[in-house]
Amino acid sequence: MNNIFNLTKKELETYFLSIGEKSFKATQVYEWLYQKRVYDIDEFSNIKKEIRDKLKADFTTNFIKIENKQVDNLTHKYLFKLIDGEYVEAVVMMHDYGISVCVSSEVGCNMGCKFCESGRLKKVRNLQAYEIVEQILVIEKDLEKKINSVVIMGIGEPLDNYDNIIKFIEIINDAKGLQIGARHITLSTCGLIPKIYELAKLPLQINLAISFHAPTDELRSKLMPVNKVYSITPLIKAIKDYLQVTSRRVTIEYVMLNNINDSKECALKLAKLFKGMNIYVNLIPYNETNHLEFKRSSKNKIEIFYDTLKKEGINVTVRKEFGSKIDAACGQLRGRKNA
Ligand code: SAH
């Protein structure tokens, strides 16, 4: 049976029309679920019993559960148990300007980036839209606070779970749904080119971030096997085309790996690739893990890299760090109870 949190408002409207009801009932249901936060269909008092019974027969309102929660100052990491017993994680970060959450998009990940802890567990399955929506609902209930922004940067490659991710975005962005503005939603991808083109065609004003991490195909293919299929030249072309269609600035993520991709020469090559484009580079100090041999670049090297990009006219920032003590930082999520 389908979970009700899988449905966009449009789909719920279509459902109501298909059972001979008026489509505005979808708005009423959305208001119960996402505004009043009432999940017992029997309590939907403006919907008559006969329709409530039909809804109950057609949909579940089952929730994923918090299995564990770790708190480190401004970062909270949640381990969720899904209804079939799989696990994923999500991370909440408290900023001065609001609360953001980093959600997972898959159980495991098939992209195999060499430096990433999450990819050590191969993809088990896609998350359905409701399992991502519920990460937010459950966290908001737990914190008793509203989440202001969402980054799709947890476990999984979101564009490898495209349809569910787009549904998820539509649901949380809906004016009668969670009302999270598209400009407060960021999707990060390792660069699945055909899906970047599909995304460009959608009328969604979300932010796109590309995990780039190396300025040459030789190095990028070593670090990110996906580059053997979607290499740098066509990826840059896809980013250019995306910029042209959407006019929305793209983020280029670049993880700083000691003695691997952090030389001045790498910075110069990177600058050359992106010169004149409406992008900014977000340098991510590498978060070390117990299992992988990579080390974080020194502060000094990160500074030189930063300055070199700046001098070449590239906008650049260094990602603020959250949660490395509780293995909640980028690339440290595992989604397992003990690992
Ligand atoms: N699959 C998506 C989203 C998940 S990863 C993607 O590839 O973009 C989110 C970001 O964290 C990516 O840029 C990823 O390359 C980076 N990352 C992975 N492992 C990391 C680590 N150990 N330290 C810092 N960043 C890491």
The two structure tokens encoding residue 138: 């459950």
Could you tell me the distance, in angstroms and rounded to a whole number, from the CA of residue 194 to the centre of ligand 1?
20
CB 106 within 8 A of CB 119: no
| Cα distances (angstroms) measured from residue 60 to each of 56, 229, 245, 272, 280 | 7, 40, 39, 52, 43
Residue-level pLDDT at 201: 95
* 157 vs 247: CA distance, rounded Å: 24
Could you tell me the distance, in angstroms and rounded to a whole number, from the CA of residue 116 to the centre of ligand 1?
6
Written as tens digits, the pLDDT of the chain (339 aa) is 899 999 999 999 999 999 999 999 999 999 999 999 999 999 999 999 999 999 999 999 999 999 999 998 889 999 999 999 999 999 999 999 899 999 999 999 999 999 998 878 899 999 999 999 999 999 999 999 999 999 999 999 999 999 999 999 999 999 999 999 999 999 999 999 999 999 999 999 999 999 999 999 999 999 999 999 999 999 999 999 999 999 999 999 999 999 999 999 999 999 999 999 999 999 999 988 877 889 999 999 999 999 999 999 999 999 887 777 778 777 777 776 554
Among 255, 257, 297, residue to substitute to test ligand 1 (most atoms within 8 Å of Cβ): 255
Nearest CA to ligand 1 atom 20: 331
Nearest CA to ligand 1 atom 24: 286
Residue-level pLDDT at 195: 98
CB-CB neighbours of 299 under 10 Å: 11
Residue-level pLDDT at 324: 75
Residue-level pLDDT at 339: 46
Nearest CA to ligand 1 atom 13: 211
Q: Is the CB of 261 under 6 A from ligand 1?
A: no
* 157 vs 105: CA distance, rounded Å: 7
Could you tell me the distance, in angstroms and rounded to a whole number, from the CA of residue 182 to the centre of ligand 1?
21
Among 89, 91, 116, 127, residue to substitute to test ligand 1 (most atoms within 8 Å of Cβ): 116
Ligand 1 atom with minimal separation from the 160 CA = 1
Residues with active-site annotation: 89, 330
Q: Is the CB of 255 under 6 A from ligand 1?
A: yes
CB-CB neighbours of 258 under 10 Å: 14
Nearest CA to ligand 1 atom 3: 153
Residue-level pLDDT at 336: 64
Ligand 1 atom with minimal separation from the 224 CA = 15
Among 153, 210, 219, 324, residue to substitute to test ligand 1 (most atoms within 8 Å of Cβ): 153
90 phi, psi to nearest 5 deg:
-140, 155
- Beta-strand runs (E) in 75-221: 75-81, 87-95, 98-102, 106-107, 125-126, 149-152, 185-189, 207-211
Q: Is the CB of 91 under 6 A from ligand 1?
A: no
Q: What is the pTM of this model?
A: 0.95
Residue type, 168: F
Nearest CA to ligand 1 atom 26: 331
